[in-house]
Amino acid sequence: MHPAPPLPSNTAYVPFVSVANMMRLVHDIGLDVMLHELAHYIEEDFRRWPEFDKSARVASHSEVGVIELMPTSDGDTYGFKYVNGHPKNTQDGLQTVTAFGLLANVATGYPELLTEMTVLTAIRTAATSALVAKYLAPAGADTMALIGNGAQSEFQAIAMNVLCGITNVRLYDTDPRATTKLARNLEDQGLTINCCHSAHDALEGAQIITTCTADKQFSTILTDNMVGSGVHINAIGGDCPGKTELHRDILLRSDVFVEYPPQTRVEGELQQMPSDFPVTEIWQVMSGTRPGRVSDRQITLFDGVGFAIEDFSALRYIRDRIDGKPYVERLDMLADPDDPRDLYGMLQRAAPIASCGS
């Protein structure tokens, strides 16, 4: 048998960022800088919200979790993210959330970027939370309660520090090992860290309250009597049907801000409320068409479930920031025959050459 001839160079290469190289990129840029820059990209895209295609994410639910596709386009560029959410995974040593994403040119349909998004989603979620808090948190806020100390928690604490000036964090998780892990990882961030024995204890003196728990169930992490006036609640753990964290009476006392109402009403804290419960879309606040925080006693609540435009912003940011990085890989994902109509001919020229003696 004769060996196969070398493959022709009939391929168009697509930049690919692996997990290892995403981590390398974060270290090259610096997490603090990356959070600032990514928040700017998200804010830019939220301010041009009407330009985007918008739909609730396409979800495949099971008893143990969800697998989702999150697509959007601004007419020039198309992006999507594949992401799962399986809270029980940690019991088997697996991540609750894994993700990858793609950016493509609308004019040709050709991909421009393929990247891991497990690490990137953690960073964009934290950047979004802190960006929203800049608009909604009380002036001079310096203390955050962080209830739920899992994989997202470090990113949340650091983002609130670098974007909003939070200097004190009060930590609580039903698993003390998670709190110990978080406190250890935040030791060098210049934060005052308080490990608390209950959610009620964690809320003491906090102007920003972040809830970020993982269990897929209707939970009551915060009861109405725990929440005083004037706080900002960053509720990011209720992110799929059948999963909430707040007592519904808290929503009745709050001004609720969301990303995309048709998605949030199905997946967020809003699934507890009637379909006409009033909300403000956060893009309207960022574009100056609707008010955000208007009084010192107002309770603002960001019912954040994550939306495709945030992932689009993150993909756009990575595409811009990897330019010239020598460690970015190239994948031959796209066939590129000399004659675009002769894909079969390209295949044949790459096939092994058969002979009578083989």
Within a domain: 198: yes
Predicted pLDDT of residue 63: 85
- Distance between CA atoms of residues 56 and 70, nearest Å: 8
Within a domain: 353: no
- Distance between CA atoms of residues 255 and 290, nearest Å: 12
Cα-only R_g, the chain? 23
Predicted pLDDT of residue 249: 96
CB-count burial class (<10 Å; 0-12, 13-18, 19+) for 83: buried
Q: Is the pLDDT of residue 171 over 80?
A: yes
Within a domain: 7: no
pTM of this prediction? 0.91
Within a domain: 5: no
- The residues that bridge with 335 in the sheet, in sequence order, are 11
> Helix, strand or coil for residue 16?
strand
Q: What are the structure tokens assigned to 314, written together?
A: 């993150």
Clarify whether residues 108 and 164 are in a common domain.
Answer: no
Q: Is the pLDDT of residue 352 over 80?
A: no
Clarify whether residues 170 and 246 are in a common domain.
Answer: yes
**Sheet (strand 111-116) strand order:** 58-61, 66-73, 77-85, 99-105, 111-116, 11-17, 329-335
Predicted pLDDT of residue 11: 53
Within a domain: 354: no
Predicted pLDDT of residue 61: 85
Strands (E), 168-254: 168-172, 192-195, 208-211, 218-222, 232-235, 244-246
Clarify whether residues 92 and 165 are in a common domain.
Answer: no
**Domain CATH code at residue 109:** 3.30.1780.10
Average model confidence (pLDDT) for the chain? Answer: 92
Q: How many domains does the chain have?
A: 2
Clarify whether residues 101 and 217 are in a common domain.
Answer: no
- Distance between CA atoms of residues 158 and 167, nearest Å: 10
* Helices assigned H by DSSP within 91-169: 118-136, 153-164
> Helix, strand or coil for residue 225?
helix
Q: Is the pLDDT of residue 315 over 80?
A: yes
- The residues that bridge with 115 in the sheet, in sequence order, are 17, 101
Within a domain: 346: no
Q: What are the structure tokens assigned to 246, written together?
A: 């707040």
Q: Is the pLDDT of residue 346 over 90?
A: no
Q: Is the pLDDT of residue 205 over 50?
A: yes
- Which residue, 260, 284, 256, 270, is CA-closest to 57? 260
Clarify whether residues 336 and 237 are in a common domain.
Answer: no
Strands (E), 196-349: 208-211, 218-222, 232-235, 244-246, 255-258, 280-281, 300-303, 329-335
**Domain CATH code at residue 196:** 3.40.50.720
Place of tokens 């999963």: 243
Clarify whether residues 316 and 256 are in a common domain.
Answer: no
Give tens-digit pLDDT for 40-89: 999 999 999 999 999 999 989 888 888 999 999 999 999 999 999 888 89
Clarify whether residues 294 and 224 are in a common domain.
Answer: yes
Clarify whether residues 284 and 319 are in a common domain.
Answer: no
Clarify whether residues 225 and 287 are in a common domain.
Answer: yes
Within a domain: 208: yes
Place of tokens 């992932």: 311
Q: Is the pLDDT of residue 335 over 90?
A: no
Predicted pLDDT of residue 87: 81
Clarify whether residues 101 and 27 are in a common domain.
Answer: yes
Catalytic residue numbers, as ranges: 239
**Can you give the residue range of the structural domain that contains 185?**
126-307
Within a domain: 3: no
Answer whether 64's CB lies under 8 Å from 315's CB: no
Handedness of CA 160, 164, 170, 174 (dihedral sign): negative
Least confident of 1-5, 54-58, 313-317: 1-5
- The residues that bridge with 170 in the sheet, in sequence order, are 145, 194
Clarify whether residues 197 and 104 are in a common domain.
Answer: no
Interval 206-221 mean pLDDT: 82
Q: How confident is the model at residue 23 (pLDDT cuts 50, 70, 90)?
A: very high
Clarify whether residues 141 and 262 are in a common domain.
Answer: yes
Q: Is the pLDDT of residue 10 over 70?
A: no
